[in-house]
Every structure is written in C-alpha cells, then in structure tokens.
Amino acid sequence: AQSVTQLDSQVPVFEEAPVELRCNYSSSVSVYLFWYVQYPNQGLQLLLKYLSGSTLVKGINGFEAEFNKSQTSFHLRKPSVHISDTAEYFCAVIPISNFGNEKLTFGTGTRLTIIP
Amino acid sequence: GAGVSQSPRYKVAKRGQDVALRCDPISGHVSLFWYQQALGQGPEFLTYFQNEAQLDKSGLPSDRFFAERPEGSVSTLKIQRTQQEDSAVYLCASSLAGQGLGTEAFFGQGTRLTVV
C-alpha cells in the first residue's frame, strides 16, 4: 500500500515571495509522483509529474518539484507566487507495479493562500 | 467533448434516497476512475474501468455503491439508500490508457452530493 503525507494543511505566502509545499510518501514499491492543483469549484489539474530521469521536473505556471528518493520526498516549489496561485495543492503517487491500473493515492492537500 | 463532464454538478438527496451520478469521459479514453473527496480531504479511489470492464472496485465503501460503464464510454456511479456519511464530492477522471506509464488523468469538476 502507499501513503502520501502533506504536513502543511495551510500555507499563507506574500505575493512575489517564494513558496515550498512539502510532500512525503511511503511505498514498498517504486512510484510515479504527481502534483495536482484544484482551484475553487474546479476539477483537479495536473501541475507536473515525475516518471523517471532528471529528479528536477518543471511544470505549468512556473512550478517545479524535486524527487528525492532517499528522503521519499517530492516537494513543490515556486520562486515567486502570484495571487492566481491561490488554490489547493495535492501530491499523489501511482505504484509502478500496478500495470494497467493507475489509481492515484492522494495526500490530504495544502491550501495555498497568497497575501497581496 | 473537450474535457471530462460530470452531471449533475450539485445533488441534494434525502437520507435513504437513491442517486445516480454521470460521467462523460474524454472521447477515446480507455481508462475511467471514480474518486470520493470528503470535505477537507484528498480524493480517495473508488473504482476503475478499462473500457467496459470494471477491473478494480476495491475502494467502494459498501455494497450500496455500484458503478457501471456498459459501452466503454459514459459511466454512472449509483448510490443506494444514501446516508449522511456519503456526502462528498465525487470526481471522475479518464486517461488514454493504463499502461504503467504514468499516463495523465484528466478530472471532471465533480458532483457535490449532500445528504440531508
């Protein structure tokens, strides 16, 4: 089984400041890692994903994340946030062994609030 | 259509009533998933279809929950004899194919079910 921990339920950040949203996971097998964003009254939208290769992945809207296998982490970062980044952010994993069934296991989410 | 479409967007049901939630996936997408998102939580997996075959229903919380995808396209999630703990947002997602490649899942806006 897999589990995902997002320790920070809420993160307030001033506009144009940097932000890091933390994600740690637990799994007995290798996993793919994802960050999804959920704007108010919207569905989930993929920000970025790590499948293999370079551990630093870049996504949409200026976000990036770094996979650290030894620390089982996949923290999300942005160097300068904008008001429009206010949303709920979810980290998720898929076990690579689940061939043909890519069900996602999500964390509980981090609500990012940008302060003008 | 251009994205995953779910209907209705909002549903209020009296306790004990049966409800049916509909999902129209992106045309041509083989895989279809249902997730349940309780207030303040991350989405939790309910069930998975590959075309019309329901390959995993391990997340369905009770036998009151039933899902189908008879023609490998539109899917319906049915909840019988609704109870207050069923109140949640039900999310549908589709992807091109579950081939162990970390294929991106596209989410609908969800159906918010409130049981009173």
Q: What residue ranges of chain A have pLDDT lower than 70? A: 97-100
**Amino acid present at A55:** T
Left if phi > 0, otherwise alpha if psi is -120 to 50, otherwise beta: which for A79?
alpha
Residue A74 touches chain B, beta carbons under 8 Å: no
Residue A100 touches chain B, beta carbons under 8 Å: yes
pLDDT of B102 above 80: no
Per-residue pLDDT of B10-63, as tens digits, reads 999 999 999 999 999 999 999 999 999 999 899 999 999 999 999 999 999 999
Give CA separation, B47 vs A5, B12, B14, B32, B94, in Å.
22, 23, 24, 8, 12
- Model pLDDT, residue A15: 97
Instruction: Outline where DSSP puts E strands in A15-86.
Output: 19-21, 24-27, 31-38, 44-50, 56-58, 64-68, 73-78
Put simply, the answer to whether B105 touches A46 (Cβ < 8 Å) is yes
- Model pLDDT, residue B100: 59
- Model pLDDT, residue A114: 96
Give CA separation, A18 vs A48, A56, A109, in Å.
18, 17, 19
pLDDT of B98 above 80: no
Residue A109 touches chain B, beta carbons under 8 Å: yes
Tokens 């019309």 sit at which residue? B52
Residue B57 CA, distance from chain mean position: 11
pLDDT of B96 above 90: no
- Model pLDDT, residue B97: 74
Strands B10-13 and B111-115, by their bridges, are parallel
Residue B32 CA, distance from chain mean position: 8
- Whether the CB-CB separation of A28 and A49 falls below 8 Å is answered with no
- Whether the CB-CB separation of A96 and A50 falls below 8 Å is answered with no
pLDDT of B99 above 60: no
- Model pLDDT, residue B2: 79
Question: What's chain B's average pLDDT?
Answer: 93
Residue B99 touches chain A, beta carbons under 8 Å: yes
Mutate to test the interface with B, among A101, A105, A108, A110 (most CBs of B within 10 A): A101
Contacts A107 to B, Cβ<8 Å: 42
CB pairs < 8 Å spanning A and B: 71
- Model pLDDT, residue A102: 81
- Model pLDDT, residue A40: 85
Identify the closest residue of chain B to A89 by CA–CA distance: B42
Residue A92 Cα, gap to closest chain B Cα (Å): 9
